Amino acid sequence: MLSSPVRLIPRTIRLVHSPICNFSRSFMDLKVLLSSLNDFASLSLAESWDNVGLLVEPSPPHTVHTLFLTNDLTEEVMEEALQKKADLILSYHPPIFRPLKHITWKTWKERLVIQALENRVGIYSPHTAYDAAPQGVNSWLAKGLGVCTSRPIHPSKAPNYPTAGTHRVEFSVNCTEDLDKVISAVKEMADVSVTSFSTRTDDEEQTRISLNCSQEALIQVVAFLSQSRQFYQKTEILSLEKPLLLHTGMGRLCTLDESVSLATMIERIKRHLKLSHVRLALGVGRTLESPVKVVALCAGSGSTVLQGVQADLHLTGEMSHHDVLDAVSQGINVILCEHSNTERGFLSDLRDMLGAHLENKINIILSETDRDPLHVV
């Protein structure tokens, strides 16, 4: 199944949120809340290198009255979360990424863990799961471009194969004796399932064998079949691909309904991200009046996702110097907004979506101290 375009129409909704906790609301058990969060955006969508999910867990049972949202969990943000009586911190970026060899007061990330445990506060991070989700960070970023159609640059695949195994091996057997030999051998192999059905080729009755197997078992199957020239020469090996998920994946390729000048697009982006400045690299032969019709975007760091993607504009938080040069040489404009500036605004939408998803059972508040560490001076 191929990803079809999603039509994005920006709308402005005025919502009023009180910073004061509403203690009249009920609470949720941590495990129940985690299950609901996974229903909202499955952690299986996250990149394999990422560290997502529950990173710090107070001893059970743990109930959550207040969920605290932040883009980055710094010591200043942790202090704010504790002051506001948070029971669970949802930090978009995982504060624990590389393994910790000890938990002491020496480094700021270790101190975050200590403070969380001492105050019975959980820490949860969705990171790239929210990047890939249809209602996630990249879709939010695309809303600032204007009316457009959008599709993932790198579509996500279903977490499981449609059938058991990663490969299918098919071949034909002519006689019952050979069939019994194959079935007996295959049954002794782990991670191999077998089906058979009768066929007729050139007026000759045959049995078609279909084996589903894992990558590891495939080696055993091929070794067995190679012992018989009759089997091996007629063997077909198919790689089983996971199906693509609709509207889900990394980055977005957006096609505007109507072209606008680069200058107009810059103003739209600054307004959407509430920024007074962005960094711009003009593509070769381009000016501020050059038309922009297709935008490739990736929240955060877009070097890998945007590499080689043809568009009028690449929009992301940060890219390496040499990746910017490569894009510019191809006539592609590049706008960099600093890493977290392309993500943080999503949290306001997230608060509203989670409130509806969780049926307003808990209080959800945004950090007021969370900000990008880089400033224009």
Binding residues for a divalent metal cation: 93, 131, 339, 343
CA distance 115 to 76: 12
Secondary structure of 239-299 in the HEC alphabet? ECCCCEEEEEEEEEEEEEEEEEEHHHHHHHHHHHHCCCCCEEECCCCCCCCCEEEEEEEEE
Q: 191: exposed, middle or buried (C-beta count within 10 Å: 0-12, 13-18, 19+)?
A: middle
CA distance 127 to 41: 11
Q: Residue 2 to residues 27, 177, 265, 306, 313: CA-CA distances in angstroms?
A: 40, 44, 29, 20, 24
CB 304 within 8 A of CB 154: no
Tokens of 179: 């069939």
Q: Shortest CA distance to 87 belongs to which of 44, 112, 57?
A: 57
Question: Sheet of 236-239: strands edge to edge?
Answer: 192-201, 204-213, 167-173, 236-239
Cβ neighbours for 215, distance < 8 A, ≥ 6 positions apart? 166, 167
Tokens of 372: 């990008």
Cα angle: 312, vertex 317, 319; to 5 degrees: 75
CA distance 226 to 272: 61
CA distance 263 to 363: 41
Cβ neighbours for 302, distance < 8 A, ≥ 6 positions apart? 251, 314, 315, 316, 317, 318, 319
Percent of residues in the chain assigned helix, strand, coil, to nearest 5: 30, 30, 40
Residues marked as binding? 93, 131, 339, 343
